[in-house]
Amino acid sequence: MIDSLFTLYCEDCEVAERPSRLWVRAEIEVSTTRGPETQHYLECMNCGYRFKSCMEDHMEAVDDEEWNRFVSESPSFQAGSPSSAEGSR
Ligand SMILES: [Zn+2]
């Protein structure tokens, strides 16, 4: 089985003839007019370029705001919330 993500490459690195190494940082399920799609948020480990892949060969640059919304550096899903249970009444 061939993952289509491995056919993607970083355009900046491609131009500079560097081997691009893409890192899948997040997978987001989105609903489009054509049905559910999975968007992959990718980061180039060479130059730090951030983009998302919507369809197999379509890439879009991602700005910081969107990146931070979908790609969290720290785990945001912790078991329970440590401080919200006390003093609430
Ligand atoms: Zn790159």
Question: How do the pLDDT tens digits run along the chain, 89 residues long?
Answer: 445 555 678 888 888 998 878 889 999 898 888 888 888 999 998 899 999 987 666 788 999 999 999 997 655 544 444 555 555 56
State the distance from the centre of ligand 1 to the C-alpha of 75, rounded, in angstroms.
25
State the distance from the centre of ligand 1 to the C-alpha of 37, rounded, in angstroms.
25
pTM: 0.65
State the distance from the centre of ligand 1 to the C-alpha of 85, rounded, in angstroms.
45
**How far apart are alpha carbons 21 and 23 in whole angstroms?**
7
State the distance from the centre of ligand 1 to the C-alpha of 64, rounded, in angstroms.
17
> Which residue from 34, 35, 46, 38 is spatially nearest to 9, judged by alpha carbons?
46
Q: In the prediction, which pLDDT does 86 show?
A: 56
User: From the CB of residue 17, how many other CB atoms can be counted at a distance below 10 Å?
Assistant: 6
